[in-house]
A and B are shown apart, each in its own frame.
Chain A
Amino acid sequence: DAKTTQPPSMDCAEGRAANLPCNHSTISGNEYVYWYRQIHSQGPQYIIHGLKNNETNEMASLIITEDRKSSTLILPHATLRDTAVYYCIVRGTGGFKTIFGAGTRLFVKA
């Protein structure tokens, strides 16, 4: 599975959009981009995933660049409860080894 690079931490004002970048320059054609988050002392929570098209669900939007070497997770209206560590993971066929990187610690401030 390809490696991902994320900034260690980010701040966001409550009510504003939080844009979390992820670099996965070695991604292969059949590898999906997954995002999870982990709120303090809880289990990781699935957010969204995509292959090459942009995706949106009730939690977030995922924007994947055309060359698929990077992606951005967008939380459209961040709340204090979105403060968490966000993990970007790349998985391919048979990629049941979900390898977590260091993630981005997002602080949403009032």
Chain B
Amino acid sequence: DTEVTQTPKHLVMGMTNKKSLKCEQHMGHRAMYWYKQKAKKPPELMFVYSYEKLSINESVPSRFSPECPNSSLLNLHLHALQPEDSALYLCASSQDLNRNQETQYFGPGTRLLVL
């Protein structure tokens, strides 16, 4: 099973709202990732977690707050977003960060619209 699930599939929020995106995998992977993808552009890395600890933050604004409560779950908390934050948010996981080759498995994404 190479499934990564993401909820919700779609989300519409106002600029003053607080919402959360959820990602789950049951493959025993210890690395999890958040990507942002604007229309007609490739995915861009936002955060990387390894063994439930934040390893990489690609200079993402603080209105995006990641959380990894356990090895199977990854959340992205959203607060005071801007319309330009509207995008497809992708979660991915891989077995580990420290192997020479590492295949990432992606979820279907959450399509976010900020009004």
Distance in Å: Cβ of B73 to nearest Cβ of chain A = 17
On whether the beta carbons of A96 and B94 are closer than 8 Å, the reply is: yes
Q: Are A46 and B105 in touch, CB under 8 angstroms?
A: yes
Stretch at the interface among A18-26, A37-45, A59-67, A74-82: A37-45
Decide: A96 and B106 in contact? CB cutoff 8 A.
no
Interface string of B84-115 (1 = CB under 8 A from A): 00001010101001101111111111010000
Chain B contact surface mostly:
strand
- Interface size bracket, B side: 20 to 34
The interface centre, meaning the residue of B4, B45, B94, B101 with most chain A CB atoms within 10 A of its CB, is: B101
Given contacts A44-B90, A97-B45, A102-B42, contact A32 B109 (CB under 8 A): no
How near does chain A come to B85, taking the closest CB pair, in angstroms? 18
A43 to B48, CA, bound (A): 17
CB pair A46 B104 closer than 8 Å: yes
A45 vs chain B, min Cβ distance (A): 7
Give the distance in Å from the alpha carbon of A92 to the alpha carbon of B101 in the complex.
7
Q: Which of A87, A92, A97 is B42 in contact with, Cβ under 8 Å?
A: A87
Q: Is B15 an interface residue (CB 8 A)?
A: no
Asked if residues B102 and A95 are in contact (CB atoms below 8 Å), the reply is yes
Q: Are B97 and A43 in contact (CB under 8 A)?
A: no
Inter-chain contacts of B98 with A (CB < 8 A):
94
* Distance, CA A97 to CA B44, complexed state (A): 10
Q: Which of A34, A93, A96, A102 has the most CB of B within 10 A?
A: A96
Residues of A within 8 A of B2 (CB): 46
Q: How far does the alpha carbon of A93 sit from the alpha carbon of B105 in the complex, in Å?
A: 18
Chain B residues, Cβ within 8 Å of A102: 42
Interface residues of A (CB under 8 A from B): 30, 32, 34, 36, 41-46, 49, 51, 87, 91-103
Q: Can you spell out 25 A-B residue pairs with CB atoms less than 8 angstroms apart?
A: A30-B100, A32-B100, A36-B106, A41-B88, A41-B111, A43-B109, A44-B92, A44-B106, A46-B105, A46-B106, A49-B103, A87-B42, A91-B102, A94-B98, A95-B102, A96-B31, A96-B48, A96-B55, A96-B94, A96-B102, A97-B56, A98-B92, A100-B42, A100-B44, A101-B42
